[in-house]
Amino acid sequence: EVQVVESGGGSVEPGGSLTLSCAASGFIFSNAWMSWVRQTPGKGLEWIGRIKSYSAGGTTDYAAPVKGRFTISRDDSKNTLYLQMNSLKTEDTAVYYCTTSPAPGVDYWGQGTLVTVSS
Amino acid sequence: DVVMTQTPLSSPVTLGQPASISCRSSQSLVHTDGNTYLSWLQQRPGQPPRLLIYKISNRFSGVPDRFSGSGAGTDFALKISRVEAEDVAVYYCMQATQFPHTFGQGTKLEIK
């Protein structure tokens, strides 16, 4: 069974940093393209970035609101995806989901982890 | 970015009756590979989104056959043939044709 489990959420002050993790199981992680999506009551679902498998180049792509502040990485030896978030803003407050896509548009979602940015 | 617009934003329906949700994209979702990567997601209260339909009309594993998807180009629809109580949820369309992937605003399905 495909599973992705996010962790690392919490409260942080504006300007601070936080790193989220996503533990994967039930599929060949090293072959997987992985993404992060966030959800806020105000803006709904927002795709924020992805990382390709190393066999596909291992490159990353980011949405404009987070580009330059967030970094996605992966450790295939640990079947784990990461989201490092720097220079956090109040508008980054959201539930963050990890997804895996065995094919375009076919996404398995985790349960999500809540990040609150507030002073 | 491709803008996804759903209608209606709220849909009260009677149990056992059909329901339909529309989704329109600001650009064609036909990929250069010939596929159209339009998906439908269901998010029940307190749960994460889950995939229902991919590539316009393909039901994901375990999805009841009362759910169906249709459309082409820029206009798409999700239909539920007979609404059941467990279908109360917010439904989202999502495009994975163009980068970045984008979502509709969501349609809240509720029981009359």
CA distance A12 to chain B (A): 23
Mutate to test the interface with A, among B101, B102, B105, B107 (most CBs of A within 10 A): B101
Residues 6+ apart with CB under 8 A from A83: A19, A20, A22, A36, A49, A70, A71, A72, A96, A98
Q: How far apart are CA B22 and CA B2, in angstroms?
A: 16
Quick check: A24 and A38 in contact, CB under 8 A? no
Quick check: A80 and A72 in contact, CB under 8 A? no
DSSP B101: P
Mutate to test the interface with B, among A22, A45, A60, A96 (most CBs of B within 10 A): A45
Nearest CA to B23 out of B110, B100, B94 is that of: B94
Is 90 exceeded by the pLDDT of residue A105? no
With the CA atoms of A76, B47, B102 and A23 taken in that order, what torsion angle do they form, in degrees rounded to the nearest 10? -10
- Closest Cβ–Cβ partner in B49, B96, B106 for A104: B96
Give yes or no for a cis peptide into A102 (omega within 30° of 0).
no
pLDDT in the model for residue A41: 78
pLDDT in the model for residue A78: 97
Return the structure tokens found at A80.
């784990």
Name the B residues in 27-86 with CB < 8 Å from any A CB: 31, 35, 37-39, 48-51, 54-55, 60
CA distance B2 to chain A (A): 12
pLDDT in the model for residue A106: 87
pLDDT digits (tens, 9 = 90+) for A38-97: 999 778 999 999 999 999 999 999 999 999 999 999 999 999 999 999 999 999 999 999
Is 90 exceeded by the pLDDT of residue A30? yes
Coil vs helix vs strand at A62: strand
Match 């199981």 to its residue by tokens: A25
Mutate to test the interface with B, among A3, A5, A50, A106 (most CBs of B within 10 A): A106
Question: Residue A50, class by beta-carbon neighbours within 10 Å (0-12 exposed, 13-18 middle, 19+ buried)?
Answer: buried
Nearest CA to A50 out of A5, A97, A17 is that of: A97
- Closest Cβ–Cβ partner in B49, B101, B102 for A109: B49
CB contact under 8 A, B49 and A105: no
Instruction: Name every chain A residue with its beta carbon within 8 A of the beta carbon of B50.
Output: 109
pLDDT in tens, chain B (112 residues): 999 999 999 999 999 999 999 999 999 999 999 999 999 999 999 999 999 999 999 999 999 999 999 999 999 999 999 999 999 999 999 999 998 999 999 999 999 9
Three-state DSSP string of B59-90: ECCCCCCCEEEEEECCEEEEEECCCCHHHCEE
Which residue of chain B is at minimal alpha-carbon distance from A65?
Answer: B100
Return the structure tokens found at A76.
């295939």
Is 90 exceeded by the pLDDT of residue A104? no
CB contact under 8 A, B96 and A105: yes
Return the structure tokens found at A27.
């599929």
- Closest Cβ–Cβ partner in A35, A45, A61 for B103: A45
Quick check: A98 and A36 in contact, CB under 8 A? yes
β A33-40/A113-117 pair status: unpaired
